[in-house]
Structure 1
Amino acid sequence: MKRILFLLIFLPAFGWSQNLIVSGKVSDVNNAIPGANIIEKGTSNGTTSDFNGNFEISVSSNNAVLVFSFIGYTSQEITVNKQSSINVVLQEDTEALETVVVQGFSGVIGKARKRTGSIQTTPESVTALNAEGIESAGITDISSFSTLVPNLKFNSAQAIGLNFITVRGIPQVRGGDAPLAFVIDGVTIPDPSLLSQELYDLALVEVVKGPQGALYGKNAIGGAVNIYTKDPTNKASNRIKLGMGNGGSFQTQFISSGAIAKDKVFYRFSSQYKNFDGLLTNDILNENVDFMKDINIRGQIKANLSNRITLSATYQHFKLDGGATYYSVNPTGFEGEFPGGILNPNPKDGNNIIASDVLGTSDMINNYGNLKVDFKLGKVKLQSITSLNKVERSTFGDLDFIDLDIFTQGEEAITKTFNQEIRINNTNSDTNFDWSFGGFYQKIEKDIYQNGTEGVDAEFGPAEYDVADFINETKTIALFGFADYKLSDKLTASAGFRYDIDKFNQEDFLFVTKSDRDNNEFQPKISLSYEPSKNVLFYANYGRGYRNGGFNADATDLFNRSFDDETSDNYEFGFKTTTWENRFIFNGSIFSSKLDNQQQYILDLNTFIAGVYNYKETKVFGFELDTRARLSNYLDVFASFGISDAEIIDGGTTGGTNGNTTDNSNYNGNKVPFVPVSTFGIGLESSFNITDDLKFNGFLNLDRTGKTYWHESNRTEHTTDAYALLNARMGFSFKNWRLDVWGKNLTDKQYYQEFSPGEFVGSPDDVAWRGQPLAIGTSLALKF
């Protein structure tokens, strides 16, 4: 280990050179320009500005000339003249603006492979939006972005922070790790509950699919979500926003950025407050149950300590309070001691109600900070990222979900995470060989306590009981590397790896046990891309993903004391094309995955213990298509379609108390639950100037979720038919003002985000979590 650390610290010295490193920002009079080209004149040395407009390039001499260009803008040439920092403001080219081009898709700059590049030249299945696209589409959380991504579904249920993400046939385990790595500003956030947070003041939101373990580590078994916030700026700017909507929705935002010391130290402060009274009603208590309050603040500092050293620090705090445990039931089952009706999983008016006698509540408090230090060492850059995160969650509410004082549930969870990553990147763009490598350390401590009560209507009278009380600790040390080599002008080979060394420990205070286990996992990635022309890309990828296993609170008939690590081997072939003078984009991919020990969740109501179990083998086969066309300077049409055929090959056997086991091989050949068999989206986007000062922006999106099986049995009564949600947004910008009007689920479609068949968990009735009904609102923002 000492030798490895020595290499990580001192190897960059071999890349030291006398070349001058020039960095800066490309923008127009109002905003940063992502994807601008920066070329050293007379050479092939060049780079591209990132989603915040930032660039960095190593030039050959102090007299080098840099050429800055972007579609629709007049190019500029600037002599370096020993300057280490150059900020460029490009002016619009009125003649070029008359040309019909697709700027909102092919020009999107992402960071799927942890390096800046156009998503049209990245050999991965990527969907991304930069700042302008985020505002146009009204992206405020992962859920709203997922509607634009084929084969991705985001649901939530039960309480704040409990999410269900499904990507390419791989579902999330309830309360467990997501199948996607969640990355904010380059820092991996391991607690999946944080996917519930509000997203605002963003420069990039991006989803890259397929196993990404080599680049993002464990739990990136289905891909990664990249979120990048806007950078602190040298130029002073402020923004205030007020919004309101139905259900008592109210929102305020204040964002401020500028220089503390000009050209040296910059800040950015972002804050948001939201309050929502709710739209779903408990018919027994006559109260709204889906209420929510959000307080969110984020502070950023960036300092150029020297020409070669940059330091940035971020701190974020948010507190979410809201409703919980408001599952709906079938009202026809209320005649006996317990409800005995079956809840139709295709909801219609009147066939399901929220009828619990307890108003559920939940909250989540997050404190997060990171420190980044970049050392520019000639043609390499050494980066250190240190982060701390603490999440506190609590839930209280009904467990029988009916108007009887029988059962309640409660949970308290605290997760503490420490990350340290050291990464070394090649910064020489004038080469056929690009590379990065580094090391990573992570410590996660998760403290969980769950309890409940049996009320006065219970068979044995009022009682309190504990269900779980344990601490899980995970320590990870990892080494990783990734490299691209241009075999020719058209053919590029890529290879990467990550080797994780994990140690798991659990101390259970309820059952008075201590458990530990180790796991070492190698996650390779191989890629080959071929670019027959500048507008066509073909690629083939192989990747291995890994989601770590763990321990359940106890063994039951439905699951074991522990559950195994889940691994995935994925093969993918894809293409990306740009035609019709950049007016038509058509991308697609086909993939096949084999999963060993795929994880699933179940609540055993006979013991009131929840646990995770494994299928021995599952397979997923599917494809996805993305397209966008600019029909005129004023109108874009876009569409996406995805198919995921996820099949249980061998369900295996699990459980083992008193000789009783559960044989899941009975479900061999059935579809994996919680996986929509298809997704489809289609929409329109329009943006044009009404006058010199007045601009219109419109966005319309229809998102269709295919049939979903909620249990391995695949029985019709436990299956949800396809449904579609219609969302729209209109915006008007006048000088520094912006007015938006938006609507979600405009047809007021009733649908379920989760469904639980009672007969398989020991419940007297099926229960379901209803999706949000029609929501409308407006907002007004001012920049100054």
Structure 2
Amino acid sequence: MKQTILLLFLLITTLSFSQITVSGNVIDNNGEPIAGANVIVKGTSKGVISDFNGNFQISTTSNNTILEFSFLGFENQEVKVDGKSRIDIILIESLESLNEVTIQGFSGVIGKSRKRTENIQTTAESVTALNSEGIESAGITDVSSFSALVPNLKFNSAQAVGLNFITVRGIPQVRGGDAPLAFVIDGVTIPDPSLLSQELYDLALVEVVKGPQGALYGKNAIGGAINIYTKEPTNKMSNRVKFGVGNGGNLQAQFVSSGAIKEDKVFYRFSTQYKNFDGLLTNEFLDKKVDFSEDFNIRGQIKARVTNNFTIGATFQHFNIDGGATYYSVNPIGTDGEFTGGVLNPNPSEGDNVIVSDVLGRSDMKNNYGNIKMDYNLKGANLQSITSFNKVDRSTIGDLDFLELDGLTQGEEITTKTFNQELRLSNTNTDTKFDWSLGGFYQNIKKNVYQNGTTGVDFGGPDAYDTADYVNETNTIALFGFGDYKITDKLTFSAGFRYDIDKFSQVDDLFVTSSERDNNEFQPKVSLSYQASKKVLLYANYGRGYRNGGYNADLTDLFNREFDDETSDNYEFGFKTTTWNDRLIFNGSVFSSKLTNQQQYILDLNTFIAGVYNYDETKVFGFEFETRARLTNYLDVFASFGSSDAEIVEGGTTGGTDGTTTDNSNYNGNKTPFVPVSTFGIGLESSFNITDSVKFNGFINLDTTGKTYYHESNLAKHTTDAYSLLDARIGFSYKNWKLDFWGKNLTDKQYYQEFSPGEFVGSPDDVAWRGRPLSIGTAISLRF
């Protein structure tokens, strides 16, 4: 096997030597990268587009080749290759072309969902993406704010800093388990799902690709992937400072600096941000705010062009987040004022749905992350090495009974260390019908978990107890490959695979056990796309995804000692259209998924142990649509709708102490919990010059989350109705200054991010995690 792969590498590189590969960067006069600039071999139709950081790479067979650079609103430029392996271009604005009416939306968004630079309107995947301008206009600061713009995607948080619940296309994330989406920053897989909580800033791209993406992103990409790319170091010096304030004691300060240490050779980028928030939700018993947070983030990047064919870069990031924790409200009531009958009502009333715990919960998360990237141009192929490490420390302390009583408390300390190494060889020859990439991957994850608690005097204490003390370790070796073949100018066949070899182990010091198991998983992907016309793309995909299983702290009546690996087989048909002189975009897809061993979570208060269990089989059928229209030169309207019908086909049985098991087959035919049955969004975006020096930008979005079942029983009293959140942002720019005003949940809607029914976990009370109320603020920034 090793010899075969080596021979394949040698064959590909040998065949590539006749190619001349030219790379470079396209920027505007302010030094900002231009995403989607056309780079064409003059006199042909062969070309590429620049990525979200303005980078491009194109191959040719002659030094006499002339490259044409063009982008809407800028003057065209021509450059002769003449032996150059690198060409950097500054495009100058053209006032004439700026007067044209052309959509500014999906058609101009450049993504990297298939690990290569593509316009998302020509990508045979269900993709939602924003480049840097869209990110700034929409006010994207975290995964949650971006998920509001993506159909069939929902992001919630609860319990403590770093505890997230992300649901995509009917596949939910569970406590103690991995996210159903791969999380990738600057091409590096981030395996710890708690890091989805981090603040996002100084970004070049935010992108979500849906459907199983195991062939491209590996395990846990069972429902898709989130791609985030930060802005790269630049050759031209630029700096930006930003200060902001808001209600709830919201304070923000940000600084970004980029430039050349040695012109054209070594570049840096430094960014840092501090945010503080006093909170808006009140503990009625302690008379204190509970949703407070403090966040410090610092990131440094350096990139060097060692030769024209070899670049090396390094990144280091540290952040520290402190925040409130365990502030659950107690006993939410039904809309008819009774526990039976109506669905859950998030509006607090006297004695119901209020936060009254006697302990002020606190949590924190610290992260240290670094990577080293090396890229070597092999004349027709690119060899890339990415080495990364990641350490996350999380801790939580707070109430467990969530009442005024001196009852139960909980504590948790988790440390996760990850090492990744990836080697990837990719085609850079643009004069071919076959595009390909292949490589290998190694990952080691070591996770230490310690959980404890106390019993207070009102519960027969004081006593202290431990509920978990174990170390999980996962070692993964993977081989992968992906290729596109143009059967005709319009028809393209794509296929890929990833083969994961996983080894899991657990050493449990509390229950004095040691466990090991292996799992090998083949994740194929097949795609057929048809470019019916220049503006219409049809595609069909099949993909298999895989989310690894693991070990619970102990066997209980509600779950086993071990939970199984989860797999998904997904079939999808989609279309992408651009009409009305590029002023209207309408994309859609229909999908069907079969999931085996889908994972769910529950807390057993009889033993104070939390665990994950499996359904034998579930299925999901759904569809989604996205559209954007340019009504005038100054106004865009956009909308999206998603539907996910997620059903338990066979719940199976789980757990078993003293012969007692839990029969989840009682829920066969019911809806999968934590999955909104639909999502809907609609909004407006506007941008125009008020004067020659003053520019206006506005963005407003109404995000609706459909009915959500919070337990397999699907009882109405454990179900929330649809709710809508209204967010808006307006900005005024003057030369290098910008003033923004923003608002989130402008109607001050009461809603839940999580709900736990007491009757199924051994508690007399139901508890819920309330969403954040109305938040408003303003910020001023300066570029220099």
The TM tier, using the shorter chain, reads over 0.9
Q: More deviation in 617-626 or 324-333?
A: 324-333
Q: Partners in 1 of 2:242 and 2:481 — Cα distance? A: 43
- Indicate the residue corresponding to 1:387 in structure 2: 388
Alpha-carbon distance between aligned partners in 2 of 1:10 and 1:363, rounded to the nearest angstrom:
49
Displacement of 1:12: 5.4
Structural mapping, 1:396-475, within 5 Å:
396-459=397-460, 461-475=461-475
In 1, distance between residues paired with 2:389 and 2:8?
22
Q: 1: CA distance between counterparts of 2:196 and 2:577?
A: 32
Measure how far apart 1:592 and its partner are.
0.2
Distance 2:520 2:331 in 1: 47
**Alignment check: 8 A CA contact 1:570 1:592 kept:** yes
- Cα distance in 1 for partners of 2:8, 2:610 equals 43
Q: Is 2:295 aligned against 1:294?
A: yes
1:345 offset after TM fit, Å? 2.4
The 5-angstrom pairing of residues 326-337 of structure 1 reads 326-330=327-331
Matched residues in 2 for 1:581 and 1:223: separation?
Answer: 32
Q: SS in structure 1 opposite 2:294?
A: strand
Cα offset, 1:343, TM superposition = 11
Superposed displacement of residue 378, structure 1: 0.7
Does the CA contact (< 8 Å) of 2:342 and 2:716 recur in 1?
no
For residues 210 and 692 of structure 1, the distance between their equivalents in structure 2, rounded to whole angstroms, comes to: 45
What SS does the corresponding residue of 1:717 show, helix, strand or coil?
helix
Q: Which residue of 1 aligns with 2:681?
A: 681
Aligned partner letter, 2:471: I
Q: Output the CA distance in 1 between the equivalents of 2:708 and 2:343.
A: 13
What's the CA shift for 1:619? 0.3
Q: How does 1:270-349 map to 2 (within 5 A)?
A: 270-330=271-331, 345-349=344-348
User: How far apart are residue 42 of structure 1 and its match?
Assistant: 2.3
- Equivalent residues of 1:324, 1:360 under 8 A apart: yes
2: CA distance between counterparts of 1:233 and 1:18? 31
Q: What is the letter of the counterpart of residue 575 of structure 1?
A: F
CA contact (8 A) 1:343 1:767 kept: no
Deviations 1:162-200 (A, max 9, x none): 000000000001132000000000000000000000000
- Secondary structure (helix, strand or coil) at the match of 2:146 reads helix
> What's the offset of the Cα at 1:5?
7.2
Q: How far apart, in 1, do the equivalents of 2:188 and 2:441 lie?
A: 11
- The AA in structure 2 aligned to 1:218 is K
1:214 and 2:229 correspond: no
Q: Return the offset for 1:105.
A: 2.0
Q: Are 2:25 and 1:37 aligned? A: no
Other-structure match for 2:620? 620
Partner AA of 2:29 in structure 1: V
The offset of 1:772, in angstroms, is 0.3
State how far apart, in whole Å, the 2-side matches of 1:630 and 1:331 are.
44
1:15–1:380 contact (8 Å) kept in structure 2: no
Question: Per-residue deviation at 1:95?
Answer: 2.5
For the residue of structure 2 that corresponds to 1:133, the secondary structure is helix
**1:359-758 map, 5 Å:** 359-459=360-460, 461-758=461-758
Q: What one-letter code is carried by the residue in structure 2 that aligns with 1:652?
A: G
- Pairwise mapping of residues 175-190 of structure 1 onto structure 2 (< 5 A)? 175-190=176-191
CA-CA distance at 1:348 after TM superposition: 1.4
The 3-state SS of whatever aligns with 2:457 is: coil
Whether contact under 8 Å (2:653, 2:665) holds in the other structure is yes
Distance 1:481 1:225 in 2: 20
- What does residue range 167-246 of structure 1 map to in structure 2 within 5 Å? 167-246=168-247
Letter in 2 for 1:294: D
Q: Is the 8 A contact 2:20 2:380 kept in 1?
A: no
- Asked if structure 2 preserves the Cα contact closer than 8 Å seen for 1:173 and 1:600, the reply is yes
The CA distance in 1 between the partners of 2:361 and 2:7, in whole Å, is 54
- 8 A contact 1:235–1:258 mirrored in 2: yes
Q: What secondary structure, in the 3-state scheme, does the structure 2 residue paired with 1:401 have?
A: coil
Counterpart for residue 769 of structure 2: 769
Quickly say closer, same or farther: Cα 1:745–1:389, change in 2 above 3 A.
same
Q: Secondary structure at the match of 1:120?
A: helix
Displacement, 1:135? 0.1
2-structure distance, mates of 1:262, 1:560: 60
What residue identity is the alignment partner of 1:411? E
Q: What is the rounded CA distance, in whole Å, between the counterparts of 1:680 and 1:16 in structure 2? A: 48
Q: Which amino acid aligns with 2:541?
A: N
- Maintained 8 Å contact 2:13/2:380: no
Runs ≥4 in structure 1, deviation > 6 angstroms? 340-344
| Distance in structure 1 (CA, Å) of the matches to 2:602 and 2:767 | 14
Between 708-717 and 43-52, report the one with greater CA deviation: 43-52
CA 1:8–1:231: 2 relative to 1, 3 Å? farther
> 1:18-48: CA deviations, max 9, x gaps?
5432221112223211011101112343111
- Consecutive unaligned residues in structure 1, runs of 5 or more: 334-339
SS in 2 for 1:394: strand
> Which residue is 1:110 aligned to?
111
In structure 2, what residue type is equivalent to 1:574?
G
Give the match's secondary structure for 1:279: coil
CA distance in 1, matches of 2:603, 2:341: 19
In structure 2, relative to structure 1, the CA distance for the partners of 1:420 and 1:5 (3 Å cut) is: farther
The CA deviation at 1:100 is 0.9
Deviation at 1:11, TM superposition (A): 5.4
Contact 2:85 2:309 in 1 (8 A): no
Distance 2:602 2:14 in 1: 54
| CA 688–714 in structure 1, closer or farther in 2 if over 3 Å, else same | same
* SS of equivalent to 1:231: coil
TM-score (norm 1): 0.97
Aligned partners of 1:371 and 1:104: how far apart in 2? Answer: 33
Q: CA RMSD in A?
A: 1.5
CA distance in 1, matches of 2:578, 2:531: 12
